[in-house]
Amino acid sequence: MTSTDPAASPGHPATPVDPGWPERFRSLPAVVRLSLYVSLSLVAVLVLGLVTATVLVRQPFPETGGELELVGLDADVTVVRDDAGIPQLYGDSVDDLMRAQGFVHAQERFFEMDVRRHTTSGRLSELFGETTVEVDTFVRTLGWREVAEREIALLEPETRTAFEAYADGVNAYLDQTSTGELALEYSVLGLTGLDYEPEPWTTADSLAWLKAMAWDLRGNMTDEIDRVLALSENSPEQVADIFPEYDARRHRPIVTQGAVVDGVFDQAATGGTRLPTRPAYVASDQALDVLAAVRDRVDRLPAFLGKGDGIGSNSWVVSGDHSSTGQPLLANDPHLGVTMPGIWMQMGLHCRTVSADCPLDVSGFTFSGMPGVVIGHNADIAWGMTNLGPDVTDLYLEKVEGDRWRHDGRLRRLETREEVIEVRGGDDVEVTVRSTAHGPLVSDVSTPPYAEVGALADPDHGDPRPTDGYGVSLAWTALQPAPTADAIMALNTAGDWDEFREAASSFAVPSQNLVYADRDGHIGYQAPGRIPIRKSGNDGRVPAEGWRADDDWTGDFVPFQGLPNVLDPEEGFVVTANQQVIGGDYPYFLTDDWDRGYRAQRIRDLIEAEQDLSISEMSELQLDDRNPMAATLVPYLLDVELPDGYLSDGQELLADWDFGQPADSAAAAYYNVVWRNLLELTFHDDLPEEAWPDGGQRWMAAVEGLLREPDDAWWDDRTTEDDVETRDEILAEAQELAREELTRLHARNPESWRWGHLHRLDLEHQTLGQSDNPVVASLFNRGGWEVGGGGAIVDATSWDAREGYGVTAAPSMRMVVSLGDLDDSRWVNLTGVSGHPFHEHYTDQTDLFVDGETLPWPSSREAVEAAADDTLTLVPAEEEG
């Protein structure tokens, strides 16, 4: 006879249990029984640990089916999730939808939200201790949280109400969920001794995240410093070589028609005049020291705060004349740093009955922690964004004397405020933030804390008296309160071009290129943003002299009506990829540090060649991996004679290369390693380390020019005093070093090389993924995907030549919207919807993304219901008592 295991699950065969095993066990020798006891005990401990770990991992997973109560709802909200976990919300009022959006965001991503608000308020050290004090000090100095709190009063009443309802939804989830059930991260931190309960969510928590995005997309701040650092050892003419002007003849601007007439941009007008400039200030040695310290400090900020360099995006829209559907198609893929989880979460917000009282019928990409949809479409229009990249930051060299700073011939008192940073497991850190009229002294958070660079006499610039040293302040439009949140909410409900532009007029920072399409067949472009007007002669290319009043900003901004825009352009399409917005005769200064336009021109060329694009062809265009520099550089590389055999094996791969960079390309692997070595050999001896080349689009444009000058001084290695190297010697050495490097990193046989072997996508968790404990890091990080593409390529998986070949920034999502039938639209995220490790939707979209695939994007209620995998109903909570 046998008995059955009572734990056997229904529907599965029971496991037979032998009733005679206790007697047989007792008859075994004692040493054997002890050994078995120990073994069984270890197994029990492992099983118990596994069960406990499984509980800890799974308990934060959201409930996606059935019914849950949500305090404050007036009526039910239905949350329909498809098989990728993407939620579409249906309700009867904007207030209910915002409340439900906050609840669902908290279900999926609350730890991410909590880290974001700690980041933007300079409070990371409360969670992570001394390791983040520098970050907190920098953010407190900039004052992001303070600015966000001041913005609340500027918002339209309906926007403020939406943000409050969203916060109520987040807090309702917090009230019914223990800290350990919110996220695995809290359980791990709890094991390290953190005793923590999240505080309620607020409107300012949401608004402050816009500051982090603005920092990530801030423009040319580091270019300002790098120009000055490069000038320290090179002539102005040489520095001009590595900061080449935008070539509008080869790479067309975004807007190719129109001019400003009486302060208003007219797309049919011609003419205009640029403001004059004056020679740039050349910094003294003391100023170089403090600028280098600021540059180093910015470089050491963590990736999740945003680097602000090498970040671009693609977006384009074609009219029905260029579309196989006969209606517009709009594509967008913003390029941002790669993190785990990704920056976006897909979602839809739908009023069951669309009306003036409940106008939402929108879906797209959202920020967890913020209400509404940032990029996407509603029932009438679609919109996409790329970074416009205007110069909205200026660094000012300030002459600081004690608690005063010099300006316009007199000493003015520095503004100060005190900040206290609470440090987990350590003493509080007191920070004194000092500011001039230009902005906060960011040099105070360089290392050492305040850059005392010694007494300085500066008779050439009108001040012969000694000072304590230089400080560096930051003027930045994002530090002035603005109602950008109004723009996001208004875009969600805009129904035509005029309403779209009205929404865009509130978009202050980060300034974005906005592309547009509507169901009536129109396409368009609008440049929004708060862009400062500088006094004549100050072009923002290098740090300004803070003691000169004529280097101040005027206090005015480029008027919205004067910013470039176009409706139904003559070409029948609009391409934005961070290139120059409009030609050089535009009267307002936007920036001279544009992306050099390689991606933009490639997209234009492919659109013009195809003429009649389908939805799938729009997606294929997003995956184009042709290296724009290779066609120029490869002929020079092939002309260099290398020894036959081992050293020339790699070079032979280039002979029939089509310049594409798929992950399995051996030629692309060799070319990119050559490119990195070429940059090192050419520039490292001529530039301070802070200004070494990252290998991106600016350096491609620079090397293009230098290739035509085989004896240019840049090619010479300054460290070899008796030799003067030329272009071909550097090209030969770069190829020989690349051969050796690939043999070391990959394989001896060139046919085995793969670009993806070097160029891997690794998604690092923003905080715990950087843990020194490899077990902890492995819980949250995911990686090892071999990818194609590269810097300045349409498939923009950027890498940094100063660090290696791994992906540092990538398309954060991809979307194609079909205005002819919104249900035919496609989308994919860099990561999944879920922020919970080990959830099935943590990285499920990454696999699709790497393979170049996209998901269906249902829009109509019928299509959403047909794709439903789970349905959750949020119901009003019963009143107590």
Q: Which amino acid is at 482?
A: A
Closest Cα to residue 576, out of 636, 625, 512? 512
At a CB cut-off of 8 Å and minimum separation 6, what does 355 contact? none
Closest Cα to residue 118, out of 356, 354, 422, 507? 422
* Cα distances (angstroms) measured from residue 854 to each of 338, 845, 868: 18, 8, 17
The answer to whether the CB of 396 falls within 8 A of the CB of 473 is yes
Closest Cα to residue 110, out of 660, 835, 601, 810? 835
Mapping DSSP onto H, E and C, the string for 724-752 reads: CCCHHHHHHHHHHHHHHHHHHHCCCCHHH
- Would you state the structure tokens that stand for residue 731, as one six-digit string? 């090209």
Residue whose structure tokens are 């919207």 = 817
Q: Which amino acid is at 730?
A: I
Q: Rounded to 5 degrees, what angle do the CA atoms 348, 354, 359 make?
A: 70
Residue whose structure tokens are 């391409």 = 575
Rounded Cα gap, residues 600 and 40, in angstroms: 65
Q: Where in 75-221 does DSSP place strands (E)?
A: 77-81, 87-91
The answer to whether the CB of 101 falls within 8 A of the CB of 192 is no
The answer to whether the CB of 571 falls within 8 A of the CB of 603 is no
Main-chain phi, psi angles of 279, to 5 degrees:
-60, 145
Helix, strand or coil for residue 366?
A: strand
Kindly state the greatest CA–CA separation across the chain. Answer: 105
The answer to whether the CB of 635 falls within 8 A of the CB of 350 is no
Catalytic residue among 93, 313, 368, 818, which?
313
Check whether 391 is labelled as a binding-site residue: yes
The answer to whether the CB of 67 falls within 8 A of the CB of 872 is yes
The answer to whether the CB of 463 falls within 8 A of the CB of 399 is yes
Where does 441-495 have alpha helices with state H? 484-493
Closest Cα to residue 288, out of 238, 233, 241, 219? 233
Rounded Cα gap, residues 318 and 238, in angstroms: 41
The answer to whether the CB of 697 falls within 8 A of the CB of 598 is yes
The answer to whether the CB of 788 falls within 8 A of the CB of 663 is yes
Active-site residue 313, yes or no?
yes
Q: Where in 388-522 does DSSP place strands (E)?
A: 393-401, 404-407, 410-413, 415-421, 429-435, 469-476, 512-518
Q: How many CA atoms lie within 13 A of 258 on its CB side?
A: 25
Rounded Cα gap, residues 751 and 682, in angstroms: 28
Rounded Cα gap, residues 230 and 295, in angstroms: 13
Closest Cα to residue 857, out of 830, 820, 818, 831? 818
Residues tagged active-site: 313
Residue positions in the annotated binding site for Ca(2+)? Answer: 224, 391, 394
